[in-house]
Copies of this chain bind each other. A is one copy, B any other.
Amino acid sequence: MAEEFIVTPWEVKGRVDYEKLISIFGTQPITRDLLRKIEDLAGELHVLLRRGVFFSHRDLDLTLRDYEDGKGFFLYTGRGPSGPMHIGHLIPFIFTRWLQDKFNVNVYIMITDDEKYLDEPNMSLGEARRWAYENTLDIIAVGFNPDKTFIFHDTEYIGKLYPMAIKVAKKINFNTVKAVFGFTGSTNIGLLFFPSLQIIPTFFEKKRCLIPAAIDQDPYWRIQRDIAESLGYYKTTAIHSKFMPPLTGLDGKMSSSKPETAIFLHDDPKTVRFKIMKYAFSGGQPTVELHRKLGGNPDIDVSFQWLKIYFEPDDSKLKKIEEDYRSGRMLTGELKEYLIEKINNFLEEHRVRREQAKELINLYKYDGELARRMWREGPWNIEELNS
């Protein structure tokens, strides 16, 4: 069965063949040796690494070497605030927070209200900014270190960003963004300029930057790596995640615009139950009798896949579920109940922390140690900008 798939920053279609994607994008697989190295340094392996959700990278080995050499590194990730966040959106942030905890490094989080406003024909700037606020609460709820984390909204922080953005913009022409992002003559000139902004947080420190993000964002980093050294900075490094599969089956990715494919962070327990019961694609058999006899297929069962990706971090429990489901001892309904409880517990805790985030937002945006420095001194000194 030959499968077609598409992965760009704006579209993920079809059943993604991740091994093939590594060779198309020219990235590197995360090898056992690399996992062992991370485990050595961090003391453990995060479930998203153990389960292969983060599966690919660019120069992660160099970043770890810099860490061992005492040079350090920093983390950068972000969010395009186009609407409410679903659990798939949280994956890179959860992993980034873990890296921050283990390596004690700064994290920069860019909220691209400008990009989403420019990209969505019917969105007002006010809406993009409201989603920037709402999404920031969800991100803060993940629990970053408030003195080593700076969350910034593009349309607020642009005064500090623009001088470096034009230094990057001068090195990128229309042909390049056309080839890399598929921009056309109808693309508005704000979107054409935007890649210069998304690139520059990789220059926030004179250390290697590590970007944990879904692999569809990689084209930005490819451009960054082409021009970084000519500007006197490191090529960024990256660690790429797979996509959280939609509830409805393994093709494509969870999508905010198709609510049946996603569990939103604001979905209440009844909605979670309803969506999973109704939409979660099952690898089970049509009848209980057949299921008991033939067993289910966890490899295509979305509920099982979600447990595997994140919601059952206990390897032995997951193994038991897999065996029970494959053998027919566990029914689809039971598997779904298990997932529903895991997700509802997760969301309940998330919402408590999200409420607390309303009191913390100024800390991450303006008043924490790193944020204060980023506003007071800016990311670059005058010599760096004027050269």
Interface residues of chain A, those whose CB is within 8 Å of chain B, are 114, 117-118, 124-126, 129, 155, 158-160, 162-163, 165-167, 169-175, 177-178, 183-193, 195-196, 385-387
Determine which of B159, B167, B193 lies in contact with A189 in the assembled complex, contact meaning CB atoms within 8 Å. Answer: B193
Residues of B within 8 A of A196 (CB): 189-190
Given A159-B159, A162-B155, the answer on whether A169 and B186 have CB atoms closer than 8 Å is no
- Chain B residue with the shortest CB-CB distance to A157: B159
Determine which of B155, B158, B185, B385 lies in contact with A173 in the assembled complex, contact meaning CB atoms within 8 Å. Answer: B185
Residues of B within 8 A of A169 (CB): 118, 188-191, 193
Residues of B within 8 A of A124 (CB): 386-387
Given A125-B385, A175-B185, the answer on whether A158 and B162 have CB atoms closer than 8 Å is yes
Residues of B within 8 A of A173 (CB): 185-189
Write 14 A-B pairs (CB below 8 A) sorted by A numbering.
A117-B170, A125-B167, A125-B385, A155-B163, A158-B159, A165-B190, A169-B193, A170-B190, A172-B188, A172-B189, A173-B187, A175-B185, A177-B189, A189-B195
Residues of B within 8 A of A167 (CB): 125
Residues of B within 8 A of A171 (CB): 188
Residues of B within 8 A of A159 (CB): 158-160, 162
Residues of B within 8 A of A190 (CB): 165-166, 169-170, 193, 196
- Chain B residue with the shortest CB-CB distance to A130: B386
Most buried by B among A124, A163, A387: A163
Determine which of B118, B184, B385 lies in contact with A166 in the assembled complex, contact meaning CB atoms within 8 Å. Answer: B118
Which 5 A-B pairs give the minimum distances between C-beta atoms?
A159-B159, A126-B386, A169-B190, A193-B193, A175-B185
Determine which of B129, B172, B186, B385 lies in contact with A174 in the assembled complex, contact meaning CB atoms within 8 Å. Answer: B186
Tell me the minimal C-beta distance from A185 to chain B in angstroms: 4
Tell me the minimal C-beta distance from A386 to chain B in angstroms: 3
Docked-complex contact A125 and B195, CB < 8 angstroms: no
Residues of B within 8 A of A191 (CB): 169
- Chain B residue with the shortest CB-CB distance to A163: B155
Residues of B within 8 A of A195 (CB): 189
- Chain B residue with the shortest CB-CB distance to A386: B126
Distance in angstroms between the alpha carbons of A194 and B239 in the assembled complex: 34
- Chain B residue with the shortest CB-CB distance to A184: B174
